[in-house]
Amino acid sequence: MKVLVAPLDWGLGHATRCVPIIETLLKNGVEVVLGTCGSLKHFYSEAFPSLQQVDLPSYGIVYPTHGFQMPAWILSQLPRLHSIIEEEQRCVENLVSTLGISAVISDNRFGAYSNRVPSVYITHQLRIAFPFASRFLETIGVHFHAAKMLKFSEIWIPDLEEFPGFAGRLSHQKLHRPCHYIGPLSRFMNIAGNAKIPSPEKRYRFLGMVSGVEPMRTKLETLLRETFAKIPGEHALLLGKPSSSIEKERFGNVTLFSHLSKEKFQNLVQESEYFISRPGYSTIMDQSFLGSNCLFIPTPGQTEQIYLGKILAKFKYARVVEERNLNAEYLASAFEGPIYRLPKSNLGLLENTISAFMEQLK
């Protein structure tokens, strides 16, 4: 049995959250083929060096310079994205024929499905968040996304079934498709199932992680570098550049890491008192398993992250601050008061869902 796993190339988050799916498939004797492009190739070459990778079209997402430009930018991208989705679907149908693919698992790739074999669509955004001023358009977005999901055999939702989960109303929406809540996905899921590991000595006060697409990724990198440099103590900054040839360098009292393996990243998080990043959904799920004390900085204009930030703050899962309000004075005192933690999950949800899906393929 051969399954194509195809994550969206919108940052590394979709790729990292597919890791436990790939591991579970491999554990069950499935041959996995990875549909990749760009930086995803480097990530998976390190995570799964023996697996075959095949090219899929890149969505080539680059954010506008200013957050308020986001709604107009999204509308301007629709014709280009439509062409990419059509090309993507042709590629997948060709791979099904040439490689003998038995099923397709797509993480948010609209065109990664086949009309000839069962196809799964993974998303936590059954409802796509719109800016408050254009909230009246959200219903249109729901119907648009639902129409795209009709192309797939079933939908897997990486969240808790009980509201609010991690994504609130984004992931809790009725669908006219078979759907399964599979719990949060993370390459660190195995940590929750292991015996309590003694916490290592804290080497760093703040650990920042930069992710997402340009130019917002670099903007956050610069902001965190400059902010950390003004706060006494040792800090670390992970740049999210898996293709960089420089693994580690120093910037005053800040240690910069271009990219780290799963094990090294886990160690770095556990050696740091506080974790700071964008509230990308995959990052939130990772930190729920790593048990970090988190501060999240939503990307300006990125309505999903802004909404997720509100949910995290409301239920005291994490601290959240707007990018314009982040400075050394704020950060030095941000974690005073109670410790916030993200909720845990039932680890059997994913395995049970994959087992049931495999039974259908026999």
Helix, strand or coil, per DSSP, at residue 203: coil
Instruction: Indicate the CATH number for domain 195-333.
Output: 3.40.50.2000
Look at strands 31-36 and 2-7 and give their pairing: parallel
Q: What's the CA gap between 277 and 134, in Å, rounded?
A: 27
pLDDT at 70: 56
pLDDT at 189: 87
Helix, strand or coil, per DSSP, at residue 141: helix
pLDDT at 127: 81
pLDDT at 200: 75
The strands making up 272-277's β-sheet, listed across from edge to edge, are 248-251, 254-257, 235-238, 204-209, 272-277, 294-296, 319-320
**Contact (CB, 8 A) for 159 and 183:** yes
What are the beta bridge partners of residue 35? 54
User: What are the residue ranges spanned by the domains of the chain?
Assistant: 2-184+345-361, 195-333
pLDDT at 76: 73
The Cβ-side half-sphere exposure at 361, using a 13 Å CA radius, reads 23
**Contact (CB, 8 A) for 11 and 302:** no
**Token output for 253:** 């009292």
Per-residue pLDDT of the chain (362 residues; tens, 9 = 90+): 999 999 999 878 899 999 999 999 999 999 999 999 988 999 999 999 999 999 999 987 666 655 555 556 666 777 788 899 999 999 999 999 999 999 999 999 999 999 999 999 999 988 876 655 556 566 776 778 888 899 999 999 999 999 999 999 999 988 878 899 999 999 998 765 554 555 678 999 999 999 877 888 999 999 999 999 999 999 999 998 876 667 789 999 999 999 888 899 999 999 999 999 999 999 999 999 999 999 999 998 888 899 999 999 999 999 999 999 999 999 999 999 998 989 877 778 999 999 999 998 88
pLDDT at 195: 45
* Fold of the 2-184+345-361 domain: Rossmann fold (3.40.50)
Q: What's the CA gap between 273 and 182, in Å, rounded?
A: 30
Cis ω before 298 (30° cut-off from 0): no
pLDDT at 266: 94
**Contact (CB, 8 A) for 91 and 57:** yes
**Contact (CB, 8 A) for 114 and 120:** no
* Closest by Cα among 282, 294, 156 to 212: 282
Same-fold call for 2-184+345-361 versus 195-333: yes
pLDDT at 80: 81
- First CA to last CA across the chain, in angstroms? 9
- Tell me, yes or no, if the pTM score tops 0.85: yes
Supply φ then ψ for residue 172, to 5 degrees.
-120, 90
**Contact (CB, 8 A) for 88 and 57:** yes
Q: What's the CA gap between 160 and 182, in Å, rounded?
A: 7
pLDDT at 250: 92
